[in-house]
Amino acid sequence: MPRLTAEWTGDIEEIRRLASQRAGTFDAAFARRFTAHFPTLHPLFVTLYGERDDGLEQLAAVIAEAAASWNERPLELKARDDLREQEPDWYLSNQMLGGVCYVDRYAGDLRGVRDSIPYFEELGLTYLHLMPLFESPEGNSDGGYAVSSYRHVNPALGTMQDLSALAADLRLAGISLVVDFIFNHTSSEHEWARKAVAGEPGYEDFYLIFPDRTMPDAYEQTVREIFPDDHPGSFVQLPDGRWIWATFYHFQWDLNYANPAVFRAMAGEMLFLANQGVEILRMDAVAFIWKQLGTPSESLPEAHLLLRAFNAVLRMAAPSLLFKSEAIVHPDEVIEYVSLEECQLSYNPLQMALTWEALATRDPRLLQQALERRHALPAGTAWVNYVRSHDDIGWTFADEDAAELGIDAYSHRRFLNDFYVTRFPGSFARGVPFQENPKTGDARIAGTTASLAGVEAGDPAGVDRVLLAHAIAMSTGGVALLYLGDEVAQLNDYSYVDDETTAGDSRWVHRPRRPAERYDQRTDAATDAGRVYSGLTALIRARQGTPEFAGGELIGFDARHPSVLAYQRPGADAVILVLANVGDDPALIDPLTLSGFSSAATDVLSGDEIDLARGLALLPHGFVWLRATPR
């Protein structure tokens, strides 16, 4: 077998020949896409795998897989591909509203999710992220993030046919299906894992297995511990005494992407999911996929090359699929994953964490700074803005940003952890610690939005804080993502400690079952559920009617008030001016501060006309979205 060369003109014919041997002659559409995207894929493969004897063979196998997958792609999805090609900015629209839920906890099974579609439409969802739903180990499976087969749905939830039928129903309702692509690791029960441990030819190098502690010790000099409650370091011992790389739980084994066979196999799994009708893949734990001795083995350049290579494969065989990055890391690193060539969408963990920071401190400066400095993205890409996810909240702001404001990052993180886990006197929050690491002092926190915001503690401002946090997430652009159940103010569920499969992982505190009772109260304005629901649905409606909220362009505004966050979202003729008071007292914005705008403005939430020449008064934890015209 010849090897990869840096000159793709030689390789391309060989690859076309090898791939057609396996997948038949390329049809015209695939041939076009192959010609367009092979020049991107080839040099990436050369850089990643040029040294390997099997580089060319594996690349040909990837192309064969892509061609076969294209041939099997349902016509309906090919039609969708064409539609998206004509409207490539579809996900930048101000109509984009996401919801996320666990299939079992929220709806029982996939059929239950289907039955919820009318509610999702009522809410205005255009995007539904179903938490991991694949076959995974009995008992603790990290909520499904340990995948035993990417081609089989967990039988308790349904079948792959149910999933593609659901995707089709969602499509009809204008909702894009989002699932996780858990590609950094598989479960220890995956067929590949069993074969690797057994030393079956072709699988030995699928994972990182070492005979003794020499290499693990060397790697651990520079990698961070992610789940120290489960096991120290990043390796676990196999029954035969060898050591295997496991960044997260001991049963989640990291794949070895230095082996092109792993890339090829995972490209196949990715295309399979795309053909089920999934429209967005959430790229799980993306920062961890490439390892190198002597480095933190997070966000290495090769991680980006791998994403580019996966994208090139997608553009050949499932062109409308998008990637969403899950990189919960330093903001300088988060942004590196966001581009049309890598992840078109990304969680915005900085804005999320700093929203909670501002609520705790009543000081919006760090958030204001982040919005002014770290919000801009490459054209055509978007943030996914959220108030909280199924994961813990970590204080991933940049130390140097904090230092500029005179804030010491280390002690500030300690304060925030204490504040949110009821170790700070007078705190309104009811959260619990996650993965406190006594060696490093590091910790994160867990809790539902309502519990963290004060509703559980009975704080009179709790509901207002829930709405304020969402008013920020829904007005900074991109996709706004709701954790389903939070729209009815669901509270922490402490029963996770009674179940041995969840007891060791405090994130379960904020993953309650669908709060049926609170949903029943959602039209009752006398309840917290009703107040949050009516407030949130008003925000959603107003956002849908506000084209200025499309895209992500954002310009800061100086409200000249110590507790008021302020920014503008420019539109064609006017801007939306957002003012949000994170303080406990009313805030007055004087007329002079607003004098850069014509005096006639409109409150897009109430429809009321506002006279800016009279200044503005914001309630404690109050906010406004104003359509104003710069003079």
Binding site for ligand GLC (CB under 6 A): 142, 145, 182, 226, 248, 284-285, 287, 326, 328-329, 391-392, 394, 444
Instruction: Give the helix, strand, coil percentages of the chain, each rounded to 5.
Output: 40, 15, 40
Least CB distance to ligand GLC at residue 349 (A): 8
DSSP assignment letter at 158:
-
Least CB distance to ligand GLC at residue 132 (A): 8
Nearer to ligand GLC, 383 or 533 (CB): 383
In the complex, residue closest to ligand GLC by CB: 145
Nearer to ligand GLC, 38 or 257 (CB): 257
Nearer to ligand GLC, 105 or 543 (CB): 105
184 Rama class: left (phi>0) / alpha (psi -120 to 50) / beta: alpha
Least CB distance to ligand GLC at residue 540 (A): 25
Single out the residue of 454, 474, 452 nearest to residue 623, CA to CA: 474
Nearer to ligand GLC, 15 or 387 (CB): 387
Nearer to ligand GLC, 205 or 391 (CB): 391
Separation in Å, CA 265 to CA 259, 371, 438, 481, 608: 10, 39, 39, 31, 57
Nearer to ligand GLC, 11 or 284 (CB): 284
Nearer to ligand GLC, 94 or 136 (CB): 136
Least CB distance to ligand GLC at residue 396 (A): 8
Least CB distance to ligand GLC at residue 321 (A): 20
Least CB distance to ligand GLC at residue 606 (A): 37
Q: How many whole angstroms separate alpha carbon 535 and alpha carbon 467?
A: 7
Q: Which of 135, 284, 336, 493 is catalytic?
A: 284
Contact, 618 vs 594, CB < 8 A? no
Would residue 169 show up in a list of annotated catalytic residues for this protein? no
Nearer to ligand GLC, 329 or 367 (CB): 329
3-state secondary structure (DSSP) of residue 138? coil
Burial of 75 (0-12, 13-18, 19+ CB in 10 A): exposed
Q: Please provide the size of the chain in residues.
A: 631
DSSP H helical segments within 73-130, as ranges? Answer: 75-86, 103-107, 110-115, 117-123
Nearer to ligand GLC, 207 or 625 (CB): 207
DSSP secondary structure string, 552-577? ---EE-----TTEEEEEEE-SS-EEE
Q: How many whole angstroms separate alpha carbon 395 and alpha carbon 401?
A: 13
Single out the residue of 23, 20, 14, 67 nearest to residue 42, CA to CA: 14
Least CB distance to ligand GLC at residue 303 (A): 12
Single out the residue of 113, 157, 165 nearest to residue 135, CA to CA: 157
Least CB distance to ligand GLC at residue 604 (A): 34
Contact, 537 vs 554, CB < 8 A? no
Single out the residue of 334, 286, 294, 336 nearest to residue 310, CA to CA: 286
Would residue 284 show up in a list of annotated catalytic residues for this protein? yes
The two three-digit tokens of residue 366, written as one number: 């760090």
Single out the residue of 330, 348, 351, 352 nearest to residue 338, CA to CA: 348
- Half-sphere CA count of 104, side-chain side, radius 13 A: 12
The two three-digit tokens of residue 502, written as one number: 């969840």
Nearer to ligand GLC, 318 or 446 (CB): 446
Q: How many whole angstroms separate alpha carbon 340 and alpha carbon 631?
A: 35
User: Helix 28-49 vs helix 55-72: angle between axes, to the nearest 10 degrees?
Assistant: 150
Single out the residue of 207, 205, 259, 257 nearest to residue 53, CA to CA: 259
CA-based radius of gyration for the chain:
25
| φ, ψ dihedrals at 569, nearest 5° | -115, 100
Q: Which of 11, 326, 363, 548 is catalytic?
A: 326
Least CB distance to ligand GLC at residue 502 (A): 13
Least CB distance to ligand GLC at residue 145 (A): 3
Residues assigned a catalytic role: 284, 326
